[in-house]
Structure 1
Amino acid sequence: MDIFAIFTTRVTEALLADHPELGADLLSRVVVEPPRDPAHGDLSTNAAMVVAKHLGKSPRDVAAALAERFKVDTDVTSVEVAGPGFINFRLATPILHQVLRSIAAEKEGFGRSDIGKGERVNVEYVSANPTGPMHVGHTRGAVFGDALSSLMSYSGYDVTREYYINDTGGQTIILGQSALLRYREALGETIEIPPGFYPGDYLVPVGKALAAEYGRLLLDKPEQEAVLIAREAALAAMMELIKADLAQLNIHHDVFFSERTLHGEGGDIQTTLDWLRKKCMVYEGRLEAPKGKTPEEWEDREQTLFRAKDYGDDTDRALVKSDGSYTYFAADIAYHRNKYLRGFKHMVNVLGADHSGYVKRLSAAVKAVSEGEADIDVRICQLVRLLKNGEPFKMSKRSGDLVTLSDVVEEVGADATRFMLLFRRNDAAMDFDFALVKEQTRDNPVFYVQYAHARACSVFRKAAEEVPGLDTGAAALASADVEVLTSSADLELIRLLASWPRTVAAATIAHEPHRIAFFVHELAAAFHGFWAKGKDDSSLRFVNQADPKLTLARLALVDAVRQVIRNGLGILGVSAPEELS
């Protein structure tokens, strides 16, 4: 049950009753949402302002006529025109009680929707170079992409979670060289790791495995051949390490796509460039030097260029380097055409802070290779600063100069890692304070929310002790006489629960899972606040021995709170414990 969706339908139907000529495109701009000031009512709509110009009337005149229609709606106690033409509604108590019955009936499904209509969407996230374990910078994108995938699935999309393996290029050769050094070390040599190589101990097992498989044979092979053998072993080992790291946060991908498959004769890059040429989307030309580049730093030459400016980019983009190899962007175009040909018309790419310049070029690429049929949303995850008690925190590092995902999870746990990384917009830099997320106080958001769920569970244990024989099973809660819940505290909490489906829908459309974290935190605060009121006012206590009927109704409310918290934490990939130690 989504009260906001219900009233959006009622408002548009009321408009069409008086003005059947109004088109669907115009009416799609009508929204029903909470007013900015709760004192103005429960719901507010912009409907009059959306259609006034089309009707040749003032917004307030349209609003006044529309408001008249709702004065006979039994779910509305009052309707008022405000400001330039907003219409504010106050809801009748019975429809709020219906929200509790809806939660009891729908349970995990309360808040689910069919926004996605089963459409396929590809969410590509993490895609870290397979040159070492996951570090804390990758972790934010991993958690964000995973939560967004869950959110979109919850809202009716057919989501594929994809990891793009950068298994070609110069960094993989350096990885092979670094692994070959560890191989020599495993054979008993004393090694010195040159600057620019990968120094982490995570390559030691790779070197030992190579020594066990090849003995001293690699020493007799040409260095280039030996490096390639070491590279393949290291890449395979690093991907297993990355998958194991991600599994600590319960992150699993459906597809691991190898960049290497794009290259070579007849590969996707070649076929994509041939297709682009046929479509006149590439040409031979020269690029101006980027701002800040001197003539000595810029190679002015005739080259193969993609007409990226025709598709919204700031400049056309090079596809072939001076040595004849393909640019990274050529691989990006081919990869996204591959996604489109696999049937994905909706794509989301989650990238790190150093990739903000990729947004326009990737959008241009997708628009071109799909000829406007597909769309892409590039989400940038900003940097994470590690703190302890507000001070920069350096942990013992097992992987060269990196603080790994494993380090973070071992320090604070998977739940705290996930929730805290989602408790802020992805495009805002954030501080991650290890001391804070280990505190069991209201200042620790993840503890505060999980404690609300655990407290709700404890209320049922208390009810069993204080009102023995009271049936608190699912059927009894579903049929509880919730009409007795009429206090302002009861109704305030129910109003917040009623906004959950709208929150999910808005978060899905905006691709912003942090809204889910914000909501469950707000709900937890409201629940804790209600509990505190009961300490001072016995009429607001959840368990009242003298009034089993009211107790059962309050338990239905408590059960609704814990269900919605559980639904929200489920989307975020965070557990909802029944007890906290």
Structure 2
Amino acid sequence: MNLFADIRALTLDALADLARDGTIPEGLETGNVTVEPPRDPAHGDMATNAAMVLAKPAGLKPRDIAEALAAHLSADPRIAEAEVAGPGFINIRLAPRVWQDVVGKVLVAGTGFGRSGMGQGQRVNVEYVSANPTGPLHVGHTRGAVFGDALAALLEYSGHDVTREYYINDGGGQIDTLARSVYLRYLEAHGQEVAFPEGVYPGDYLVPVGEALKAEYGDAWVDRPEEEWLPAIRAFATEAMMDLVRTDLARLGVKMDVFSSEKALYGTGRIEAAIEELRGKDLIYRGTLEPPKGKLPEDWEAREQTLFRSTAYGDDVDRPIQKSDGSWTYFAPDIAYHHDKVGRGFDALINVFGADHGGYVKRMKAAVAALTDGTVPLDIKLIQIVRLLRDGQELKMSKRAGTFVTLSDVIDMVGPDVTRFVMLTRKNDAPLDFDVSKVLEQSKDNPVFYVQYAHARVMSVLRKAAEAGIDASDESLRTADLGKLDHEAEQALAAKVAEWPRLVEIAARTHEPHRVAFYLYELASGLHALWNRGHEDTTLRFLQDDPDTSRAKIALARAVSIVIAAGLGILGVEPANEMR
């Protein structure tokens, strides 16, 4: 049930009536007609721009259309008032029964209230985390992991068929560096004293990997030349790091459907096949790039390369895909990887990248547009940095990793639920300050606590109702006389509940799961406000002397808790039944 969609449908039906009776011309395009909350809640429950949108193509004054449309809308029993405002907007107030009915529908649908068929089963691949397998996930990876996982859940909730994917960057030189670092730990495990040269990974997290390597191979690699042990230790170390990544993700509640390997693209012809497909579209050529703007690097020289004509799809410059020595650039396997995703039949692709990949967005979008002739959209979400603080002071280093704070460190400090919620309290492209002291405070300023407290308060009401002998089961609440919810404060809270299905669709359409966290905070605020008003106005308390009145008021509280639980489920957070 999307009440806003229902009233928009009513508006379109009314416009059709106006066309039939000759008030407005037939055949007007109504795609831009909206019904949404007004900017100022004092103006009503909803507002429509229909008259403003249609006035010019209709050749009529906006107010003339608005007045005729308002008269039609007012005839519907759901509409208490339709008032023309300003140059031609229509402010709509709904009848109290509409809000009361929302409560009943939530109780019937449960956490399925707000689920949408908007996605129509569209197959979407969401690739996220995809960190180099050279160490434990850090706090920056954590934000990307939470964002990607919540976005995947949001898309599923709105009717999409979602695949969660991790692209293992195991094809570059960083894996050789990892292997050399593990080899040093392997020698340490054999009792040798080793020096860690600049450029290797010195973190203690590799100590158990070196020990495991010793247990597997004994002293077979000790003091042997690198060319003998590098391939085997590369594979061993990569798998050990991916085990570490999977463990960290599991602690965060993230489970991937697919792990794809960059290394698996090499030597299989898959890179060549993707490039040949682009060549067949006259998008691969030999050429020389213009020098970079600004100060030239000392080692820059003009040289002929194999280039992808990415400017044909909106990129700033064409991009090299093969070096002068014949080896592939890092861009080539990425093209092949996306070629593979397209080949698996996805209707849309979403990549979640760190902010340092901002310069990569246009070329990757160009590649996918070229491979699919623009039929498969690629949305790239950039995740801005996270500053981890304690009492306002930045935390910069982990004992285990040596140079950064790990995902595991964060979970140890605040737990997975707090970690996930806080990571979604800012839009993905805005920097985030995460103060591990503040997120554990029990105050309104802590959104995690505030939302959880609202859910726990409702659970407390249900327990107290049971103690008072009131049947507050969902089955019983569905039959409550919701007409008793006649106070404007109760109807305002029901109206906030009614926004949930619309919010889900907007958040899914824009790929913005932070909207869910924002909404939950607003809904929790409404519940707390009604609770506090009950201290002065006893008629607003959820438990009354009359059991029937109690059941109606409890039904409203229960509807709030159901929506909070559904929203927290999308964010991957367990709702609290009591606060400790």
**TM-score of the pair, normalised by structure 1:** 0.97
- Distance in 2 between residues matched to 1:388 and 1:15, nearest whole Å: 57
Aligned equivalents of 1:411, 1:148: Cα separation in 2: 25
Amino acid at match of 1:135: H
- Between the aligned partners of 2:74 and 2:426, the Cα distance in structure 1 is 41
Q: Which runs of 4+ in 1 moved over 6 A?
A: none
- Residue deviations 1:465-507 (CA, integer Å, cap 9, x gap): 3x32x22122210010010111111111011011111111111
In the TM superposition, residue 182 of structure 1 has moved relative to its aligned partner by 0.8
Q: Which residue matches 1:493? A: 493
Q: How far does the alpha carbon of each residue in 1:397-430 deviate from its partner, in whole angstroms, 9 at most, with x for none?
A: 2112021000000000001100000011010001
Q: 1:133 matched to which residue of 2? A: 136
1:240 to 238, 243, 247: 243
- Alignment match, 1:390: 392
How far apart are the structure 1 equivalents of 2:30 and 2:246?
A: 46
Quickly say closer, same or farther: Cα 1:367–1:400, change in 2 above 3 A: same
- Deviation, 1:87, is 1.3
How far off is 1:23 after superposition?
5.7
Give me the whole-angstrom Cα distance separating, in 1, the residues matched to 2:245 and 2:87.
55
Whole-angstrom distance in 1 between the partners of 2:30 and 2:270: 43
Hey, what's the Cα distance between the residues in 2 that align with 1:257 and 1:15?
Answer: 51
Q: Shift in Å at residue 221 of structure 1?
A: 4.2
Q: How far has the Cα of 1:526 moved from its partner? A: 0.9
Q: Deviations over 1:96-155 (max 9, x none)?
A: 111011101101110000010001000000000000000001000000000000000000
Equivalent position to 1:371, from 365, 370, 373: 373
- Aligned match of 2:157: 154
2:166 aligns with 163
Q: Hey, what's the Cα distance between the residues in 2 that align with 1:224 and 1:411? A: 43
Q: Secondary structure in 2 aligned to 1:422?
A: coil
Distance change >3 Å, CA 304–CA 134, structure 1 → 2: same
- Residue 459 in structure 1 maps to residue 484 in structure 2: no
Structure 2 counterpart of 1:316, one-letter code:
D
Q: Given the alignment of the two structures, is residue 404 of structure 1 paired with residue 416 of structure 2, yes or no?
A: no
One-letter amino acid of the structure 1 residue matched with residue 251 of structure 2: Q
Superposed displacement of residue 50, structure 1: 2.1
Q: Go from structure 1 to structure 2 and tell me whether the alpha carbon gap of 1:100 and 1:202 turns closer, same or farther (over 3 Å shift).
A: same
Could you tell me whether the CA contact under 8 Å between 1:163 and 1:257 is conserved in 2?
A: yes
Whole-angstrom distance in 1 between the partners of 2:297 and 2:176: 31
Of 439, 448, 451, the residue aligned with 1:449 is 451
Shift of 1:550: 1.1
Give the Å deviation of 1:464: 2.3
Once the two structures are superposed, the pairs formed by residues 507-526 of structure 1 within 5 Å of their partners are 507-526=507-526
Amino acid at match of 1:222: P
CA distance in 2, matches of 1:267, 1:199: 36
> Which deviations, in whole Å up to 9, do the C-alpha atoms of 1:312-351 show, x marking residues without a partner?
1111111111222111111221111111111012011000
Partner of 2:274: 272
Deviation at 1:396, TM superposition (A): 4.4
Kindly indicate whether residue 309 of structure 2 is the aligned counterpart of residue 310 of structure 1. Answer: no
Whole-Å Cα distance in 1 between the matches of residues 271 and 131 of structure 2? 21
Distance 1:553 1:379, change over 3 A: same
Does the 8 Å contact 1:263/1:270 carry over to 2?
no
Q: Which residue of 2 aligns with 1:14?
A: 14
Instruction: Say if 2:34 is the partner of 1:31.
Output: yes
Q: Contact 2:484 / 2:549 at 8 angstroms: preserved in 1?
A: yes
Q: Name the CA distance, whole Å, in 2 between partners of 1:507 and 1:542.
A: 32
Distance 2:71 2:384 in 1: 49
For residue 127 of structure 2, the aligned residue among 94, 112, 124 is 124
Residues 58 and 333 (structure 1 numbering): CA distance in 2 closer, same or farther, change over 3 Å?
farther
Q: Is the 8 A contact 2:397 2:403 kept in 1?
A: no
1:253 matched to which residue of 2?
A: 256
- Structure 1 residue 60: deviation in Å? 2.3
| AA in 1 matched with 2:273 | T
Secondary structure at the aligned position of 2:248 is classed as: helix
Aligned counterparts of 1:371 and 1:23: Cα–Cα separation in 2: 32
The equivalent of 2:536 in structure 1 is 536
Q: 8 Å contact 1:307–1:316 — kept in the other structure?
A: yes
Partner of residue 230 from structure 1, selected from 230, 233, 243: 233
Conservation of the 8 A alpha-carbon contact between 2:398 and 2:406: no
Report the residue type matching 1:360 in the other structure.
Answer: K
Give SS of 1:90's match. strand
| CA drift at 1:84 | 3.1
Letter of the 2:480 counterpart: A
1:420-456 C-alpha deviation (Å, 9 max, x unpaired)? 0001101000100011011122221101111110111
Q: CA deviation at 1:395?
A: 5.4
C-alpha separation in 1, matches of 2:394 and 2:222: 44
Match for residue 481 of structure 1? 481
| 1:540 Cα offset (Å) | 0.9
Distance (Å, rounded) in 2 between the aligned partners of 1:393 and 1:181: 28
Distance 1:230 1:539, change over 3 A: same
Moved more, 394-403 or 426-435: 394-403
Equivalent pairs counted in the alignment come to: 576
Unaligned runs of 5+ in 2: none
1:129–1:167: 8 Å Cα contact kept in structure 2? yes
**Corresponding residue number in structure 1 for 2:286:** 284
1:22 deviates by 5.9
Report what 2:427 is aligned to.
425
Q: Select between 140-149 and 180-189 the one with higher mean Cα deviation.
A: 180-189
Contact 2:397–2:404 (CA under 8 A) maintained in structure 1:
no
Q: Distance in 1 between matches of 2:252 and 2:441?
A: 20
Q: What amino acid does structure 2 have at the position aligned with 1:298?
A: W
- TM-score, with normalisation over the residues of structure 2? 0.97
CA distance 1:215–1:561, shift in 2 (3 Å): same
Tell me if the contact between 2:304 and 2:324 (Cα under 8 Å) persists in the aligned partners. Answer: no
Separation (CA, whole Å) in 2 of partners of 1:568 and 1:352: 25
Q: What whole-Å deviation, never above 9, does each CA across 1:230-259 have from its counterpart, x for those lacking one?
A: 111110000000000000011000000001
Identity of aligned residues (%): 55
**Which residue is 1:201 aligned to?**
204
Cα separation, 2, equivalents of 1:395 and 1:453? 35
Report how far residue 85 of structure 1 moved: 2.2
Superposed CA deviations along residues 166-222 of structure 1, whole A, max 9, x for unmatched, are 011110000011111111111111011111101111111121122122222113643
Secondary structure (helix, strand or coil) at the match of 2:428 reads coil
CA–CA separation in structure 2 for the residues paired with 1:290 and 1:448: 51
Instruction: For 1:311, give the aligned amino acid.
Output: Y
- Maintained 8 Å contact 2:44/2:93: yes
Contact kept? 1:261, 1:268, Cα under 8 Å: no
The answer as to whether partners of 1:81 and 1:87 remain within 8 angstroms in 2 is yes
Q: 41-50 or 173-182, which moves further after superposition? A: 41-50
- Report the Cα distance in structure 1 between the residues aligned to 2:214 and 2:188, rounded to whole angstroms: 9
